[in-house]
Chain A
């Protein structure tokens, strides 16, 4: 049976794949395709952030009483990634190769180190602290994604 951590990790991998598709298009210099792929990537990533910010983080904060702890840090990194994504979309519209590749590289490292912290530390903590309400939370995650 999959827990919350496994569920969210699978979502990280899906987002990686969308990122790679935009990256492929940029390597090929096909900016129309970059823009389209980026839109898909942005939507997937934003939905992933929402699952955490709207459902999982509040549940974790309520359960542990830690509102200034790791979840606050993760929210702030989400904001940094949103800013990078906006810059990235602008660079794609302008067809600025050098800027696009620098921003894409930065976003990749930012998101990967962020994922690593979640997968190594935060998700395992959530799996432990939220075990009692796991099924209800998983149902809410799925409902949010279906909406």
Chain B
């Protein structure tokens, strides 16, 4: 019955692209999910070790290392795995050779991120050079596979369009990042000074924001049975954000008066994200499914943080908030918004995939998502994450000494997330009855 669930129907191959059932093996996304918490833990340890330097400015070696451990090692790590999983479902765009692509991307992303963080921290040109090679190769393989899959996608709907834009934004962010890291490694001046602003914008407002928004649009109404997103927002959000980001970037590259020219698209970008966050919170308030779960809590925290980050960024653009607020802005955007949303999604995706692949293997009868992970364990991790967000904000806006309990909560939260994900895999392996474990669902 369920045996052929996730298999490509070999007989139907001539109709290429029609295999909407071609979900990748469990091991493909799982390896990314299981690796990500270790990077959050490393970031927390570095945060505690080099606290004054991290808080001093976003350009210090330690701050750059902490930020990249979080955005590449945690966020992008999970997002890459999740994207390989959702492309067939959302866009009818299965990736070719998913195991090979996942294997290369995973190793390159993990080792490249470590090299990059080390290269920043110890100002090591060799490490920065290695990071450029590893991350460049890893993202080239991943993006090549994504673009190839999307180009042959069956689904030409809005979801496929959003995936295109998110992937293009990632490509832009990676190219800028590689140029910046290569320049730093060689002790050269940054080719264009504005690239230092463009790189984080394309990484956060482009890649992260567009993927999160695209996935939210699909799953927020699904998980809690809410009304759909308003038509205009659903149809034009991704295109508008991408166009504004391009305009903002062009303005930033102007030789003179760049900041004034960039003000309008910048403020509109902030407004778009604030609107998206507030609409999501309102939809969740009107949810048909009353029962609250940990994912919902993570998402409310994430959307509230996103709205706050957007307002703070707008205030910075208008010059009404001092530069000292940048650390708080970073904490809100990365830990408060992106990490919360990703963490909440993991608690839906990981147990569901475990259950789904067991069914596909003909097992798992009578099991359900909560047999893989009890809700109480998720709640404990959520509490630690909330504490980490609040203490980080406290440390950036108030007494700096709060950075130590903040780092402790962030690290403990990462450990607990790791142990929760490992628990899911343990139950899965026991139920699937062979030690090949995560690879067992392969055709």
Chain A residues packing against B (C-beta within 8 Å): 16-17, 19-20, 23-24, 26-27, 64, 66, 68-70, 72-73, 76-77, 79-80, 83-84, 87, 98-99, 101-103, 105-106, 108-110, 112-113, 116-117, 120-122, 124-125
Contact = CB atoms under 8 A, between A and B. Distances in A.
B369 interface: yes
Interface in B24-62: none
17 contacts: A20-B288, A66-B15, A68-B11, A76-B5, A84-B368, A87-B366, A98-B370, A99-B368, A101-B291, A103-B368, A106-B355, A112-B223, A113-B222, A113-B352, A117-B92, A120-B159, A124-B157
B20 A122 contact: yes
A19 B223 CA distance: 12
B292 to A, nearest CB: 10
A66 B18 contact: yes
A102 B9 contact: no
A99 B368 CA distance: 8
A26 to B, nearest CB: 8
A27 B292 CA distance: 10
Contact of B154 (A99, A101, A103, A121): A121
Contacts of B223: 108-109, 112
Contacts of A77: 5
A68 B19 CA distance: 10
B9 A106 contact: no
Nearest to A73: B21
A105 B154 contact: no
Given A73-B20, A73-B21, A120-B92, A80 B2 contact: yes
A102 B2 contact: no
A73 B9 CA distance: 9
A109 B12 CA distance: 27
Contacts of A66: 12, 15, 18
A76 B4 contact: yes
B81 interface: no
A100 B219 CA distance: 22
B369 A105 contact: yes
B156 to A, nearest CB: 8
Given A106-B369, A110-B356, A72 B9 contact: yes
Interface in B129-168: 154-157, 159
B289 A124 contact: no
Nearest to B90: A120
Contacts of A20: 225, 288-289
A31 to B, nearest CB: 15
Q: Give the interface SS of chain A, mostly helix, strand, loop or mixed.
A: helix
Contacts of A64: 15
B348 interface: yes
Nearest to A115: B222
A73 B289 contact: no
Interface string B353-370: 001100100000110111
A129 to B, nearest CB: 11
Contacts of A105: 293, 368-370
Q: For the complex of A and B, list the 9 residue pairs with the smallest distance between their C-beta atoms, beginning with the closest.
A: A102-B370, A73-B21, A102-B368, A112-B222, A121-B92, A20-B288, A106-B368, A69-B12, A103-B368
Interface string B171-206: 000000000000000000000000000000000000
B89 interface: yes
Contacts of A84: 368
Interface string B241-262: 0000000000000000000000
A121 B155 contact: yes
Contacts of B355: 106
A101 to B, nearest CB: 7
A27 B366 CA distance: 21
Contacts of B365: 83
Contacts of A122: 20
A23 B89 contact: no
A25 B375 CA distance: 20
Contacts of B91: 120
Contacts of A83: 365
Contacts of A27: 290-291
Nearest to B293: A105
Contact of A79 (B1, B21, B90, B218): B1
A35 B334 CA distance: 44
Given A80-B2, A117-B89, A69 B288 contact: no
A138 B155 CA distance: 23
A26 B159 CA distance: 33
Contacts of A99: 368
B108 to A, nearest CB: 29
Contacts of A125: 18, 154
Contact of A72 (B4, B90, B369): B4
Contacts of B370: 98, 101-102, 105
A124 B90 CA distance: 13
A116 B222 contact: yes
Contacts of B15: 64, 66, 69
